[in-house]
Structure 1
Amino acid sequence: MTNQLTFRIFTEPQQGATYDDLLRVARCAENAGYDAFFRSDHYLKMGSVTGEPGPTDAWTTLAGLARETSRVRLGTLMTAATFRQPGPLAITVAQVDQMSGGRVEFGLGSGWYAEEHAAYGIPFPSLRERFDRYAEQLEIITGLWATPQRQTYSFRGRYYEVVDSPALPKPAQQPRPPVLVGGLGAKRTPALAARFADEFNLPFVDVDTACAQFERVDAACREIGRDPGEIIRSVALVVCVGRDEAEVARRADAIGREVEELRRNGLAGTPDEVGDKLAVWRERTGIRRVYLQVLDLSDLDHIELFAGEVAPRFR
């Protein structure tokens, strides 16, 4: 098994960040050699932080970054299907892909955070309905992108109907931008991943949980005759790396977390310590990508430290 891993920066701007903050981090990630810059798609802060100055829209952000970066790939973990209609979302993502020269990756989820829906007047149906809508959105968006030029696309589902769409614009990437699916659902999530995903992502889980869910995705692929190896396995983990224990503790304190909790649940410690943990993840789960959840967006040295001291071990 190859030792190679690619690393991506993953931000949570609903916790308090401006577009300019995100631009600094994205440019830092690009200059430091990271594969991609991703952000969450949320409209309300979580936990005890104030969330000021307020949320930024994920796809507005990525459109701006598409023009202000040149190499790093751009995407969401995950856009909520409850936030947008599938047709306009397909148009938005295709346009940002064009604006970036083909660097967009499209993560879509069912939506889960009830409070943000209440805070901004977004309908929040039952879990079953959210998942049904999510499945239809995946079908429609990928169907629109896959429709040949000068042909039309139609779809009739329980929640959405598309009639004779010209299926434009087309994304720069063909046949489409990579599609990311993720989550811990035992049946429907693996089945959707098998049908639609180029990558399957698990956020903030332990190695054993990840192994079990990746196996479910593999089984779902085999059920429909798809090679499980076509789907990239990835995880998202909070990162807190320091050159010594004092620096690790300072960075943990800056994000309101305990060092030992971060060691258990994320990637915390010295570069050697974090590298050893990543090697275990790679060996046991077969992951090929890691999304590093960076919570202190002012600490660009943290991003550069990981790139310089941990990432080279996995090239």
Structure 2
Amino acid sequence: MTDYGHELLFGGFLTPDARQPAQVVARARLCEQVGLDLVTFQDHPYQPGFLDTWTLMSYLAAATSRIRLAGNVLNLPLRQPVVLARSVASLDLLSGGRVELGLGTGAFWDAIEANGGRRLAPGQAVDALDEAIRIIREVWAADRRGGVRVDGEHYRVLGAKRGPAPAHPVGIWVGAYKPRLLRLVGRTADGWLPSLSYLPKGSAELADLNALVDEGASAAGRDPAEVRRLLNVSGRFTRAGAGFLDGPPQQWARELADLVLTHGTSGFILGTDDPTSIQLFAQEVAPAVRELVAAERAGSTAPGSAGSAGSSGPAGEGAPAGSAEDAPAGSGSVTPAGSGEGGSAAGSGRPAGAQPGEVVRAGGIAGLAVTPTPAPQVRHSDHRLWDESTRPVAPPAPQGHVYSPQAQAAGGHLVDVHDHLRRELSEIRDLLDQVRRGVVSAGDARGVLNRMTLRQNNWTLGAYCAAYCTLVTQHHGLEDDAIFPHLRRADPGLVPVIDRLAQEHVVIHDVVEGVDRALVALIEDPGRLTELQRAVDVLTDTLLSHLSYEEQNLVEPLARYGFYPGQL
């Protein structure tokens, strides 16, 4: 068993789709909101269908406040090492130490050459990466005297000035699969970042490949434990297990914990653009893996631990994810299990004592200890887009029904997701109110907005609002496509309520479109802030009314039936 003892890291691997830039930003912010440590993006500078990865990372550094950012992995042949070193250090300083450097030797050489890069043979590409890592580290060594001098076969740097130094020790993580490059990782890199889908034998290959990294480290006089082992993974969240990373979150947790303890993998990056899968990975899988690994490291063999449970399926059966640099991340490659989308925090709907990701094995109480959120008493607008008095009501709960802790958590989860949407809406309203009332001068406004991880301009405000609207749309889409059909089948008495909720989703979509139109108008004319305020007021009244109605009528059925068939 090889466990290098690193702190565990969980991240997302998103597609930088140029057709939907606001959605890419929303998903990255979702990764932060649900508690992931890292968000990463493939790098194909020759691909016009993708956003430029470095530009995207720079934008997201300003649009987030906690999550770390990395290329997965950056295409070295089209990224000059000295410039890349200064770019990484600069963004790390600006973001407060939140940047890591994923690097690859390059692939798709026809495209690289077509865009001005040099075509290299496999051995030359490894040598070029070796030289580049040396140059990057020399540029970062700002405390040394003299310029950077590397007279290599592929890169010649003849006295470049050093600096700036990054804000923290930036990790250089290399995507590698072949023996020579794996030994280079052990000799010079801080981390190894392969994709599980690129290993023909799945996780069974990790032991042999790890041995090559260890060999390179030992030959260079390094402790192999200095090299973090990360892994891009993919799969499906389903009710019943059907293979490796193809099953419920508890199965994923056991299998990933086994990779930590058996192969020393300490970073797992999920390749998907699906919001529900991102949330399940962050809030169900990651905490459980940490718990299992901590127990094993402490010598515990409690039931369900990685040491006693093992893997429930053969390695490598999951759907392929995007590789490190060589291929796009599989958009939608993870099938949602039916959990709500959006960040889950200490919402008022969670039963007392329940924690995100809690594994419930037995027990229960009569009565539902989850409190739906009441409708707001204060309205911000005179607009009424529906008659609330005509809303159908769900059938009463069976008398004396016993709700397990897992059922209580399922009911409370809807409130948690809604609470996240309410908090985001409150942030938007507060931001607009400060600008409208002139609480701060134009010169001071930037500092106020920066404390909200926003910059002082209308475009950034628009991007923030647009990202929130995308979040609302994704949440409603999940309900319409997955949760509502399940509840229709489970309880015909809920059909009128679900039909009404679906109709309200259409109305809310139109309201969101109105916010979008107001944003466009504001960008064109900064004096039209009142129109945006009016649109956000309508969205506030409409959405808060809808969320309360939904909770009043669906919290109990979700506790009784779950989010998807067989969940409870």
The TM tier, using the shorter chain, reads 0.7 to 0.9
Tell me the alpha carbon deviations over residues 14-55 of structure 1, each in whole angstroms, 9 at most, x when there is no partner.
6x654322211111111111110011112466xxxxxxx811
**For 1:179 and 1:287, how far apart are their aligned partners in 2?**
16
Aligned amino acid, residue 23 of structure 1? V
Higher-strand-fraction structure: 1
Cα distance 1:227–1:149, how it changes in 2: closer, same or farther (>3 A)? closer
Alpha carbons of 1:143 and 1:207: their partners in 2 closer, same or farther (altered >3 Å)?
same
Which stretch of the first structure deviates more once superposed, 104-113 or 53-62? Answer: 53-62
What's the counterpart of residue 167 of structure 1?
A: 162
Aligned equivalent of 2:248 = 270
Q: What is the deviation of 1:115?
A: 4.7
Aligned residue in 1 for 2:462? none
CA distance in 2 between counterparts of 1:200 and 1:177 reads: 14
- Structure 1 partner of 2:275: 300
Match of 1:237 in 2: 233
- Equivalent residue for 2:15, pick from 12, 21, 24: 12
Question: Taking structure 1 as reference, are residues 59 and 277 closer, same or farther at Cα in structure 2, changes over 3 Å only?
Answer: same
SS in 2 for 1:213: helix
Query: CA-to-partner distance for each residue in 1:207-233, whole Å, 9 max, x for gaps?
Result: 121111111111211112111111111
2:99 to 98, 101, 104: 104
2:125 to 102, 122, 130: 130
Could you tell me how far apart the structure 2 residues matched to 1:17 and 1:273 are? Answer: 35
Q: Any idea what the Cα deviations from partners look like across 1:223-266, whole Å, max 9, x if unmatched?
A: 12111111111111114224x36xx9xxxxxxxxxxx6xx45xx
Contact 1:207 1:284 in 2 (8 A): no
Residue 314 of structure 1 aligns with which residue? 289
Give the distance between the partners of 1:162 and 1:119, measured in 2 at CA. Answer: 25
- How far apart, CA to CA, are the structure 2 residues paired with 1:59 and 1:156? 27
**Mapped contact 2:233–2:268 kept (Cα < 8 A):** yes
Unaligned runs of 5+ in 1: 46-52, 249-259
Name the SS of the counterpart of 1:202 in structure 2.
Answer: coil
Q: 2:78 aligns with which of 83, 99, 107?
A: 83
CA contact (8 A) 2:256 2:289 kept: no
CA 1:89–1:241 in 2, change beyond 3 Å: closer, same or farther?
Answer: same
Change (3 A) 1:151 1:118: closer
Match runs of 1:67-78 below 5 Å: 67-78=62-73
- Tell me the CA shift for residue 59 of structure 1: 0.8
CA RMSD of aligned residues (A): 2.4
The structure in which a higher percent of residues are helix is 2
How many angstroms apart in 2 are the aligned matches of 1:113 and 1:304?
Answer: 33
Which of 146, 160, 181 lines up with 1:189 in the alignment?
181
Match of 1:49 in 2: none
Question: Contact 2:126–2:181 at 8 Å: present in 1 too?
Answer: no
Counterparts in 2 of 1:21-100, with a 5 A limit? 21-43=23-45, 54-100=49-95
- Structure 2's unaligned 5+ residue stretches are 291-568
Instruction: Give TM-score, length-normalised by structure 1.
Output: 0.82
Q: Match for 2:25: what amino acid?
A: L
- Count of aligned pairs between the two proteins: 283
Structure 2 residue aligned with 1:220? 216
The residue identity in structure 2 corresponding to 1:203 is: S
CA displacement at 1:151 relative to structure 2: 3.9
Query: Over alpha carbons, which structure has the higher Rg?
Result: 2
Cα drift, residue 4 of structure 1: 6.8
- Give, as a single letter, the amino acid of the residue that structure 2 aligns with 1:269: G
Q: Compute the TM-score of the two structures, normalised by the length of structure 2.
A: 0.47
2 CA distance for matches of 1:21 and 1:84? 26
Corresponding residue of 1:177: 170
Alpha-carbon displacement from aligned partner over 1:155-184 (angstroms, at most 9, x marks no partner): 2111221122212332222xx411112311
Q: How big is the shift at 1:191?
A: 2.8
Q: Does the aligned pair in 2 maintain the 1:153–1:166 contact within 8 Å? A: yes
Matched, 1:283 2:269: no
Distance in 1 (alpha carbons) for counterparts of 2:145 and 2:219: 34
